[in-house]
């Protein structure tokens, strides 16, 4: 689905991307086709130095089917131990420019009396996968690739105040602004580990959705050189 509109004299295109990353608002000359693929056929490329694309990127996972208590510093991870991967580019292979995480939230499928306090550690290169309910214990190399930490330790909002599995809640990040440079990977992903900052007793098979709003910056001059425009 593609919707063209005007806003303050600047052309915007609102698209639903084929890769499921959500709605992107596109400005300053970047256009997309009906499949969500980037096209750079700008009429006057020399007039556009940078373009900013706003993305919604999300990861949903289910923690293991147990109720083992977490200690401060333990990782809450998917049952398969995979690292959380957030898509921050609409197409692979674009290494031009960096970006910023400007908003973040966690949607939690349960509503325990003692809520979890989370930190989301962000990386520009994927760290090793972690088993759920063990300490994060970064290596020196992994520590060099930390982009920053998003703080989710504020009291969450209760969408359903029913205790336990019958309820739910969500967390709004405190000042989530985290810049990332031109990425070392293909420019499409940043990675995360979700870490507990308190002792938390979970419910089996809790589901969490982590949502990031990202502003991705593209250097249009480099793009046009690369694509011959």
Give pLDDT, residue 81: 92
* Residue 23 in domain: no
Q: Which residues, including other chains, have CB under 8 Å from residue 93's CB and lie 6 or more apart?
A: 186, 187, 188
Give pLDDT, residue 183: 58
Give pLDDT, residue 22: 35
- Domain ranges, residue 69: 56-214
CA of 178: how far to CAs of 26, 35, 56, 122, in Å?
A: 21, 29, 15, 9
Give pLDDT, residue 216: 77
Q: pTM for the full model?
A: 0.75
Give pLDDT, residue 51: 66
* Residue 138 in domain: yes
Return the structure tokens found at 47. 């007039």
Give pLDDT, residue 215: 83
* Residue 156 in domain: yes
* Residue 120 in domain: yes
* Residue 40 in domain: no
Give pLDDT, residue 220: 55
* Residue 47 in domain: no
* Residue 131 in domain: yes
Give pLDDT, residue 221: 55
CB 48 within 8 A of CB 29: yes
CB 63 within 8 A of CB 79: yes
How many domains would you assign to the chain? 1
* Residue 3 in domain: no
Residues of the chain with pLDDT under 70: 1-51, 89-97, 181-187, 218-229
């Amino acid at each position: 689905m593609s919707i063209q509109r005007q806003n303050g004299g600047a052309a915007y295109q609102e698209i639903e991307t084929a890769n499921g990353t959500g709605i992107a608002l596109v400005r300053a000359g970047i256009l997309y086709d009906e499949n969500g693929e980037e096209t750079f056929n700008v009429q006057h490329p020399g007039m556009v130095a940078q373009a900013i694309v706003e993305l919604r990127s999300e990861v949903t996972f289910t923690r293991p089917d147990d109720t083992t208590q977490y200690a401060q510093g333990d990782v809450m991870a998917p049952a398969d131990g995979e690292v959380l991967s957030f898509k921050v580019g609409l197409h692979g292979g674009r290494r031009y420019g960096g970006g910023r995480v400007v908003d973040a939230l966690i949607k939690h499928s349960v509503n325990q009396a003692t809520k979890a306090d989370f930190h989301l550690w962000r990386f520009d290169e994927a760290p090793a996968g972690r088993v759920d309910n063990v300490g994060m214990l970064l290596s020196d190399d992994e520590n060099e690739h930390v982009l920053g930490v998003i703080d989710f330790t504020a009291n969450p909002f209760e969408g359903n105040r029913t205790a336990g599995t019958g309820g739910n809640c969500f967390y709004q990040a405190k000042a989530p602004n985290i810049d990332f440079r031109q990425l070392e990977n293909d420019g499409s992903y940043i990675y995360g580990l979700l870490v507990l900052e308190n002792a938390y007793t979970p419910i089996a098979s809790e589901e969490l959705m982590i949502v990031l709003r990202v502003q991705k910056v593209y250097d249009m001059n480099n793009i046009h050189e690369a694509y011959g425009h």
